[in-house]
Chains A and B, each alone.
Chain A
Amino acid sequence: MTTMLYGHHFRAMNAGVGVWVWSTDAERTSMIRAGMRWAEDLFAGVEAELSRFRSTSALSRLNRAAGHGPQVISPMLWTVLVAALDAAHESGGIFDPTVLRSLEHAGYDRSFDAIEPIGPEELNAPPAPTFDSWRRVRLDDATRSVDLPGDLALDLGGIAKGWTVDHVTLALAPLGPVLVDAGGDLRVVGTVDGEPWPIGVQEPFTPERDRALVRLRCGALATSSIGGRRWQRGDRMLHHVIDSRTGTSADSDLYAVTVHAPDAITADVAAKVVLVLGTGAGTAYVLKRGLSALLTGTDGREMVVGNFPHQEVVPYGSCHCA
């Protein structure tokens, strides 16, 4: 019996995506390859449907139709939007899919690669908080339609990625132990002889390094950080994690958060919520939901919350990981 590792890498959703499947059955080769092609197609399909950067996407069409009454939307958009609104409810509105106007106001109005690092000296208007605005999004199950108020616009970027990771992982799981990683949001199902998947956790302040090794037997990991997508406006350094309570970039005591959760959607949402809430409320959020996390403060301190499956947390700046 020969164990084989199948791997496939491609780019989607402005991130590198990796799919790995272990198999001991050589006769499954064609099935696994077909599964990986399907996975790439699905990622591309979700991006085409749910990207806010594509004017032809279903999400962009819905945002343009805001204020024009109920709109029938596609099953995929419906599924992810319902998941996003559930997450907003579950997080008390800290996770907010309606922050797009705030995000654009802060300068993240195009693909991040196209953002100018230094923009206008001043923001041309004060930010508008959207806290609890998600409650004004009306859904009609019977017609699968959405009524989006005219002052709101949706951003489903992170949660759409998490949903796709979950979807692909579960779909490929019958072929063997599988790992799907989309830009750091990843999930595993199954192990080979109980051997966990070793996953590096990026060093927040020195991204080329890993600061911890997670040995993952099941579930998902997601990392959210204020260090990656940031730009300057006037005298302020802004980033893409918006606090819906203020309408601008979150300003907590945390720099990066990695969450372990049963699925990628939960991990992605929790990482963002904890990053916005900060250490105190963020820790309570993690523990209340039975999750675990690795927190990094803006001052570099580390905190492990819950039963985070790390093998070792490496003190900041003390190791290199090839």
Chain B
Amino acid sequence: MRRSRPMKTAATTGPANGARAQRPGGSAASGQWWKAWVLLTSLGATVLGWVAFSTGEPPVESAVVAPDTAPRPTQVAPARHMNELEQTRPLPPSAGMLPAMPQKLVFQAPVTRTRRS
């Protein structure tokens, strides 16, 4: 609903001016130009309004995954970042690095396992 409000305002502004038919010396082309101007103005107002009313939404990359949505053992996908780490080895001078990790750490699989010894 908020997104349509600027469009309504712009649409009612044009006819209220009443300048299109009464303007002296105005050609048909200039009348078309005026219509285009009103249309573009309306469109711009719509876009600006949409952006303004949309700023409250979090950007995708900062979304937080709740801990309880973490995968269960039967659901875990292969440890993507760990696999990548293994595939990129050996990295000089023996330590691997993953610059593409998300800012918020959410493990997708066990890092390692405790096993019989």
A residues apposed to B, CB below 8 Å:
1-10, 15, 18, 20, 22, 29, 32-33, 36-37, 40, 158, 161, 179, 181, 183-186, 192-193, 195, 197-202, 204, 207, 210-215, 221-225, 227-228, 256, 258, 311-312, 314, 318-322
Contact = CB atoms under 8 A, between A and B. Distances in A.
B94 A222 contact: no
Given A3-B103, A4-B98, A322 B74 contact: no
Question: Which label, helix, strand, loop or mixed, suits the secondary structure of the A interface?
Answer: strand
A321 B110 contact: yes
Interface of B: 67, 70, 72-74, 76-79, 81-82, 85-86, 89, 93-99, 101-107, 109-117
B117 A15 contact: yes
Contact of A223 (B70, B85, B102, B117): B117
Contacts, number: 145
Contact of B114 (A36, A184, A312): A184
Given A5-B101, A201-B113, A213-B73, 6 more contacts: A1-B103, A29-B97, A179-B112, A213-B110, A320-B74, A321-B110
B19 to A, nearest CB: 55
A108 B31 CA distance: 100
Contact of A321 (B76, B82, B101, B106): B76
**10 smallest beta-carbon distances between A and B, as pairs:** A225-B116, A200-B113, A200-B110, A184-B115, A33-B95, A202-B115, A228-B116, A192-B105, A221-B114, A319-B74
Contact of A199 (B94, B113, B117): B113
B94 A183 contact: no
A54 B82 CA distance: 33
A300 to B, nearest CB: 15
Contacts of A36: 94-95
